[in-house]
Amino acid sequence: MIGPGYTMPRDTAPRDNSASMGSLMMISLHGYVAGSPELGKPDTGGQVVFVMELAKRFARLGYKVDVITRRFEDQPEEDRINDNLRVWRIPFGGRDFIRKEDMHDWYGDFVSNLLAAIRANDLKYDVVNSHYWDAGVSGQKVAEELQIPHVHTPHSLGWWKQKDMKSLGKDDGEGNYRFKERIQKEFVLYRACDHVIATTEQQAQLIEDHYDLPSDHITMIPPGIDEQRFTAVTPSQLSDVRQRLGMSAKDVYVVGRAATNKGYDLILKSMPYLAELQPDARLVLAAGANSAKDKELLASWQKLAGELEIGDRIDWRGYVADEDLADYYRAPGVFALPSRYEPFGMTAVEAMACGTPTVLTTRGGLFEQVTFGEHALIADPTRPIEFAAMVNMPMQHDWLRHKLNVEGARFARRTFGWTGIARRTVALFEQYRGKYLTPDMMAEA
């Protein structure tokens, strides 16, 4: 039921879709979803960027889009992005932040509150597109209730994350990540929804193999980048950027949320080896840490840096403002994505688009799509010495640096521009649009 103090959003009058190509509901529940998301906050990272950039391109293509998320703390009911796009927040689970692993305790309240608001305002949607399993489970119930198609994008898989954590001896099991419950609900969700969008070929194969889903129920569509924002700059502009940010061509830049799977300990352990090859090398580490658990992780990495005697080689930057993201990608000599588990690796694509040589690991979805030595370099995330050698290569050899600068940027822009990704996605939506229309519904239309 709708809780005390709940009010319908002020601007939810029935929409006139007669001039539009359709109306899309996108659901992304966890983290701080907004028109200008506060990246680095808990559970707020690449997925939020993915959802909002995709939504903006859907709107640009003529679709009416509601990005539906959770309302908590002091957030407004909605962010109006443009005439075709808004972020609409539905309250449930109280006013406090809820981590994504616990969000499913509140699905029933979310579904009830959202359906009540939709019906009270006579809103119509053609397709539900949910993101991550928390939104997927509830999105399936909403789609069934409204009799419209549901296309789900997992972003990550419970089976793979559990396997990867076990391989590291860090099986948190049901006590923290609730893997048994998650995997079971993912299994049912993938069969119940109309289609699953995997973001990498590796992820598509894992869903087929370990969730026993037919391949024709899965389509691989990668994430995209803002090709207008993430670009290379001229040498003189780059010099100005480096001076402003206090970075140099001998810096390695790593950015992301404070999380164990991000591999920050790997890059720290690789620094002594890199220092032997590049005496002036530094690590610029921008790890967003907001919660108490995040700060504990950051303290453990700082302790590790001390034990490795590399404290003077680490520049702990913390949160990077959204307006500075592109310049931070441009400024270093190398961008590194040392993750042990990464469903895709959006930051690496953005860095490549900015013309910065990039080093990936074999545990992410992106490495399967790049050509080693042409688009990026790749290393085993369990071998610090190997990772250091790959980071050193573009610092050591100008010809390789220039090749990665040019070919990496070309690959990123042509393969992952958001407008092209959006066109591929809506083409999939259109295959299911109107699938559940009854004769009465067709008469009304």
pTM: 0.65
pLDDT tens for each residue of 351-390: 999 999 999 999 877 888 899 999 999 999 899 999 999 9
CA 245 → CA 240, 353, 392, distances in Å?
9, 19, 22
Q: What are the tokens at 224?
A: 């995209």
Show the CA angle centred on residue 266, arms to residues 263 and 272, nearest 5°.
Answer: 150
Q: Where are the domains of the chain?
A: 23-224+419-444, 235-416
18, pLDDT greater than 90: no
Q: Give 171's pLDDT tier (boundaries 50, 70, 90).
A: low
pLDDT tens for each residue of 250-270: 999 999 888 888 899 999 999
Q: Give yes or no for a contact between 180 and 171, defined as CB atoms under 8 angstroms apart.
A: no
Share of the chain above pLDDT 90, in %: 63
Positive or negative: CA dihedral 407, 410, 412, 414: negative
Q: Which CATH superfamily is domain 235-416 in?
A: Glycogen Phosphorylase B; (3.40.50.2000)
pLDDT tens for each residue of 285-325: 998 777 788 889 899 999 999 999 999 999 999 888 888 99
Architecture of domain 23-224+419-444: 3-Layer(aba) Sandwich (3.40)
Q: What is the mean pLDDT of residues 111-133?
A: 96
pLDDT tens for each residue of 60-102: 999 999 999 999 999 999 999 999 999 999 999 998 988 888 8
Q: Note the pLDDT of residue 174.
A: 54
The rounded radius of gyration (Å) of the Cα atoms in the chain is 22
**For residue 80, what are the β-bridge partners?**
86
Which residues lie closer than 8 Å to 139 by C-beta, 6 or more apart?
Answer: 25, 27, 128, 129, 130, 150, 152, 193
Q: Give 343's pLDDT tier (boundaries 50, 70, 90).
A: low
Other Cβ atoms less than 10 A from the Cβ of 72: the count is: 16
- Classified as helix, coil or strand, 55 is helix
Q: Give yes or no for a contact between 27 and 68, defined as CB atoms under 8 angstroms apart.
A: yes
Between 417 and 18, name the one with better pLDDT: 417
Distance CA 116, CA 288 (A): 37
pLDDT tens for each residue of 179-206: 888 999 999 999 999 999 998 878 898 9
CA proximity to 156, closest of 199, 192, 196: 199
Q: Note the pLDDT of residue 137.
A: 95
Q: Note the pLDDT of residue 226.
A: 83
Q: What is the mean pLDDT of residues 413-426?
A: 90
Which residues lie closer than 8 Å to 394 by C-beta, 6 or more apart?
Answer: 333, 334, 357, 377, 400, 401, 404
Q: Give yes or no for a contact between 420 and 58, defined as CB atoms under 8 angstroms apart.
A: no
Is the fold of 23-224+419-444 the same as that of 235-416? yes
5, pLDDT greater than 80: no
